[in-house]
Amino acid sequence: MSDGMASRRPGIGYPEEPTSPELALELPAGKRWVLVLSHDVDHLGLREHVVDGFLLRQGWNAIRQNLTRGRFRPLRFLDQVAGLGLACVGVDRWDVIGDLLEEERRAGVPSTWFFAMRRGLGIAYRPERAAPVIRELASAGREIGLHGQTPDDAEGLAAELRELGEIAGRTIAGVRMHYLRLTRQVLDGLERAGGSYDSTVMDRTHLDPDTHPLQQPRRLRDRLVEVPLHVMDSTLFSVTGLALSLDEAIDYVRRVAERARALGRAVVVNLHPNYFSRQTPEVREWYRRLLGELTRRSDVHVTDLAGLLELLRDP
């Protein structure tokens, strides 16, 4: 598909036509582009999956990710399987949210964390288990958003937002749908619960870092803003995605950053916290290096989604 075709499209992945063109970014003094950090919390740990068959599917996934002809890593495979076994006896390698928060605090960067209030499609934690984690992050100044699980029922989605708001002690402004299932009902629910943005749209047909469209936020129904997502850990590393190595994934982000700087745009990154783990050391190392390298640059403004929204202006 040519870039010419892409530029004629209204915006890939939208459930309905946006009501504005791409919004302009008012860059802070001296900054050339914006990096936005976000996390979809699909898992609090491996232990919540000990009884649901998920660990077996993870074992199958370890085979797919490490024992293929293109990527043969038998030691990594054995280490991942050991990690799954350890989860059954109480040693949880996915219990890493505190480590990730600490890493970001050291780098001095904010981030948005999307938590689910409903189980399903691989999410097995309950709101009561997530509540202390959510409160810890909120009191550490992190933005809390909803990882939405009800794409087909506006009132259900609004209820998820209200429940999360009660736990976090504040109105929840933003949503990212689990499995990127964005629908008009999600927008209805977001409006009903007083939210202001969604960050689910991701154009996975244009991933070349040198020509990436870097779709910028647009208004939906005038009152809401859609903030497209650009770089996701699983898309970079999975054998069902780009299957990049650590060095290739670092290079990918460098090139996307270069493009954002040239265009004066925002790049929205999603790291699933559970991948910041010994189970997937290349993803953990990728994010560490990304924080270290990009936050040392003087031309970038690093923020969370709420911070990005404050920079947006009607063109």
Burial of 150: CB neighbours in 10 Å, binned 0-12, 13-18, 19+ = buried
d(CA 229, CA 216): 9
Q: What is each CA distance from 248 to 76, 251, 255, in whole angstroms?
A: 18, 5, 10
Nearest distance in Å: CB 229, Zn ion = 11
Among positions 177-196, residues that touch Zn ion (CB under 5 A) are 178
> Min. distance of Cβ 40 from Zn ion in angstroms?
4
Closest CB to Zn ion among residues 181, 192: 181
Residue 39 in contact with Zn ion, rule: CB under 5 A: no
| Ramachandran angles phi, psi of 33, nearest 5° | -155, 170
State which residue has the least CB distance to Zn ion. 178
List Cβ neighbours of 11 (8 Å cut-off, separation of 6 or more).
18, 201, 215, 218, 226, 228
What is the smallest separation between the CB atom of 185 and Zn ion, expressed in angstroms?
18
Question: Residue 178 CB, nearest distance to Zn ion (Å)?
Answer: 4
Q: Which is nearer to Zn ion, 305 or 312 (CB)?
A: 305
State yes or no: residue 160 binds Zn ion (CB under 5 A).
Answer: no
| By the rule CB under 5 A, 118 interacts with Zn ion | no
Residue with Cβ nearer Zn ion (22 or 226): 226
Cα 32 from Cα 297, distance rounded (Å): 10
Report residue 7 as tokens. Answer: 């530029």
Q: Which of 11, 35, 39, 42 binds Zn ion (CB under 5 A)?
A: 42
Strand 197-198 and strand 174-177: pairing?
A: parallel
Under the binding rule (CB under 5 A), the answer on residue 43 touching Zn ion is no
Residues that bind Zn ion (CB under 5 A): 40, 42, 178
